[in-house]
Amino acid sequence: MSSSPQAESREGATEPNHAVRFTAIWVIASVIATPLVVLLLGPILPPGHGSAQASGQVTDNTVLLAMATPVLLLVVVYLSYAIIAFRQPAGGALEGPPVRGDTKIQTTWIIVTSVLVLSLAVYGTVRLEQGNGAGSGGGPNPIAVPSGPKLPVQVIAQEWAFTYRYPTYGGVETPHLVLPVNETIELNVTSLDVIHSFWAYQLGVKADANPDVDNVAFVRPTKEETFEIHCAELCGIWHGAMFDHGHVVSRAAFATWIHEQQQRFAPATKVLPKYATTYLPEPTRRGE
């Protein structure tokens, strides 16, 4: 097969070292872009700073973004470089030389991506089970349990609403979730019927609500605010209606509120079952 003049020129002594040029561009772009991403995007990443757990998630998202930025740039810079440097010259179609594989590149690629993914897996696991549980449900016996006193609040899901029970306040149940600021809350999340998921967005809490399961999550709200509550598990036709707003208030305001709830819902409290981490209400089927 005869080669064209263009192909010959690419194989000639004047052809620049593309690997060095590309690597230099990519390194420079990464060194500039990564700090910018961390400094400019990091502070506004979700879910915000409504709790210690939410702030931890912002940190995690920032770390992930910082690690993903060079990877994204690798793809974008390579694509752009290829479009410019290896552009098909005018004057007819020309096939490039066949690529038969490169052991050095392939080995480097496998090692780098493996290290990247495994390090992220280790980082994620450590962060999930470190100290405060990261706002996720840890099952009935979570590995990560914050130290110090905790206010238990039971989250009870059913189609299609959440209610909340405060066992240390006479087991009162209310349709509203109000939490004191700067106190560690132990959320005991369960369901009376199908699977749901309790998601307090600004607090960085998301825990599955399963029947007959006590899914424990911890949160320490750090500022007084109103936060959104959603069900995050498709639970039936009115799943979309299963949302509400919760409130983080001062300790004094919480004391006043919970006292008012105890009085207001005294008739219902009398007929509630004794507080338990899970409930298996009957009947499960009408007529049984």
Partner 1 sequence: MSVFAKKLLGVGSAVALLGVLIGLYVATWATSQPPTIAATVAPASSGGNHLTLETVAAIGPKYSPTHPDWVSYLVKKNGKWIHSTVYTVPANSIVHVTIYQYDGDTGLRNPFLSQVEGTVGGTETIDGKAVNSINPEEASHTFVVPQLGVFVPLPGVPEEAKNQCEFAPCEGAAHRTIEFSFHTGAKGRYHWQCFVPCAAGFLNGLGGPMQTLGYMDGFLNVV
Whether omega for the bond prior to residue 109 falls within 30 degrees of 0, making it cis, is no
- How far, in Å, CA of 7 to CA of 97, rounded? 8
Q: Tokens 């599955």 identify what position?
A: 208
Please give the structure tokens belonging to residue 272: 């509630």
Nearer to partner 1, 5 or 287 (CB): 287
Applying CB under 8 A, does 241 fall inside the site for partner 1?
yes
Rounded to a whole number of angstroms, the minimum distance from the CB of residue 158 to partner 1 is: 6
Among 66, 213, 253, 272, binds partner 1 (CB under 8 A): 272
- The runs of H, that is alpha helices, within the chain are 5-11, 18-36, 52-85, 103-128, 251-264, 266-271
8 Å CB contact between 277 and 188? yes
Nearer to partner 1, 118 or 266 (CB): 266
Among 60, 129, 173, 228, binds partner 1 (CB under 8 A): 173
Q: Which stretch binds partner 1 (CB under 8 A): 96-104, 126-134, 200-208, 268-276?
A: 268-276
Instruction: Residue 236: count other Cβ atoms within 10 Å of its Cβ.
Output: 14
Applying CB under 8 A, does 244 fall inside the site for partner 1?
yes
Rounded to a whole number of angstroms, the minimum distance from the CB of residue 102 to partner 1 is: 48
Applying CB under 8 A, does 81 fall inside the site for partner 1?
no
Could you give the 3-state DSSP secondary structure of residue 115? helix
Q: Which stretch binds partner 1 (CB under 8 A): 8-16, 122-130, 236-244, 252-260?
A: 236-244
Nearer to partner 1, 22 or 265 (CB): 265
Among 60, 129, 159, 183, binds partner 1 (CB under 8 A): 159
Compute the chain's Rg from CA coordinates: 28
Applying CB under 8 A, does 281 fall inside the site for partner 1?
yes
Q: Which stretch binds partner 1 (CB under 8 A): 102-110, 146-154, 224-232, 271-279?
A: 271-279
- How far, in Å, CA of 260 to CA of 253, rounded? 11
Nearer to partner 1, 116 or 213 (CB): 213
Applying CB under 8 A, does 263 fall inside the site for partner 1?
no
Please give the structure tokens belonging to residue 284: 């499960």
Nearer to partner 1, 64 or 195 (CB): 195
Tell me the per-residue interface mask from 177 to 196 with partner 1, x by CB under 8 A, - otherwise.
---------------xxx--
- How far, in Å, CA of 68 to CA of 104, rounded? 23
DSSP 280: -
Strands 161-166 and 151-158: antiparallel
End-to-end, the C-alpha distance of the chain in Å comes to: 83
8 Å CB contact between 232 and 163? no
Applying CB under 8 A, does 22 fall inside the site for partner 1?
no
Q: Provide the binding-site residues for partner 1, judged by CB under 8 A.
A: 156, 158-161, 163, 173, 175, 192-194, 236-238, 241, 244, 265, 267-268, 271-273, 281-287
